[in-house]
């Protein structure tokens, strides 16, 4: 009986120790992020009440304060078609905001509050670029279904997801995201912004375990250009024209876009070693003018475009060409 008693005592001690460890571990995790502070950097975007009715404001999405002087990032689809809107802080303070600019490629819009001097705004801290990895813990903060700012948690399920534009390199997460979360914050375990919640994958319109966020890497670059220029610059391969021709290659008749009238930009470098070049593939897809326009329309300055080229000797060459801005 003594042995049994000792054994039970040991088990009791171990269970108690594990319980204490779990509480201690949870408290450490919980204290790593000051959620009360972080939610002050996220706002609710609402339609502005009209004179006819002071009660017809409607929650349309979320936004993130990215600078102390009142710039707010959100999704373009959140404010699309809305003429007048206000942003509401977690303290319930409503602020008028103006649209500074937007970028359709990334579904990003930048607003600026007009009365930022009336209170101290709490801008969010950006995480370092390329700092998020698969399996990392993340938290989504937004206004789902207009219920008010809400925090949900999950992990990074995948990086560099392509949902139509490969150059966006979206973050995929399983943190619960629903209508109203769009434009809200995705933060890491240090309370730093890693992305802007942009869309969900669902057949019902509600959360089904897959959501996507624009990574802070793209957000930072695009937002800076919108704030400075009112829009984000477009990508270019330089000044050149395409002449559509058909060629016989490997006993197959293929469409080819011959590069002509080239005068500047990254494309010009190709002709240091070649006299004549024809584009067969763009990003591993068959060449067409529509394809070229689509790829350049989706890309951002500094992104690389893959070209498969045929020279005048019938030899194939593959190049990764970094785009420039226009």
Catalytic residues: 77, 107, 182
Instruction: Look at residues 245, 275, 242 and name the one whose alpha carbon lies nearest to residue 259.
Output: 242
Instruction: Give the residue ranges of DSSP H helices in the chain.
Output: 2-32, 35-38, 76-79, 216-229, 289-298
Cβ pair 71, 63 in contact under 8 A:
no
Cβ pair 46, 85 in contact under 8 A:
yes
H-helix or E-strand containing 108?
strand 108-113
Alpha-carbon distance of 170 to 324, in angstroms, equals 22
Enumerate residues 6+ apart whose C-beta is below 8 A from 281: 287, 306, 307, 308
């Amino acid at each position: 009986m003594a042995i049994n008693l000792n054994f039970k005592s040991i088990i009791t001690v171990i269970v108690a120790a594990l319980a204490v460890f779990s509480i201690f571990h949870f408290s450490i995790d919980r204290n790593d992020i000051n959620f009360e502070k972080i939610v002050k950097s996220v706002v609710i975007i609402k339609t502005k009440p009209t004179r006819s009715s002071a009660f017809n404001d409607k929650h349309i999405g979320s936004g993130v304060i990215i600078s102390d002087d009142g710039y707010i990032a959100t999704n373009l689809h959140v404010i699309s078609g809305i003429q007048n809107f206000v942003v509401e802080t977690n303290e319930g303070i409503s602020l008028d905001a103006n649209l500074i600019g937007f970028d359709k490629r990334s579904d990003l819009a930048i607003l600026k509050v007009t009365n930022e001097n009336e209170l101290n705004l709490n801008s969010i801290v950006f995480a370092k670029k390329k700092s998020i990895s698969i399996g990392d813990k993340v938290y989504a903060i937004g206004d789902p279904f207009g219920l008010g700012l809400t925090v949900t948690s999950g992990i990074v399920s995948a990086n560099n997801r392509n949902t139509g534009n490969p150059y966006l390199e979206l973050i995929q997460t399983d943190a619960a995201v629903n209508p109203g979360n769009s434009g809200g914050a995705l933060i890491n375990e240090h309370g730093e912004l890693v992305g802007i919640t942009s869309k969900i994958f669902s057949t019902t319109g509600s959360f089904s375990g897959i959501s996507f966020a624009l990574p802070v890497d793209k957000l930072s670059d695009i937002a800076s250009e919108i704030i400075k220029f009112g829009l984000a610059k477009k990508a270019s391969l330089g000044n050149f024209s395409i002449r559509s021709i058909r060629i016989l290659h490997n006993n197959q008749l293929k469409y080819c876009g011959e590069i002509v009238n080239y005068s500047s930009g990254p494309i010009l470098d190709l002709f240091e070693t070649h006299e004549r070049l024809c584009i067969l593939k763009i990003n591993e897809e068959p060449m067409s003018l529509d394809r070229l326009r689509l790829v350049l329309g989706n890309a951002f300055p500094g992104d690389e475009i893959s070209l498969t080229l045929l020279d005048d000797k019938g030899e194939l060459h593959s190049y990764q060409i970094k785009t420039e801005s226009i």
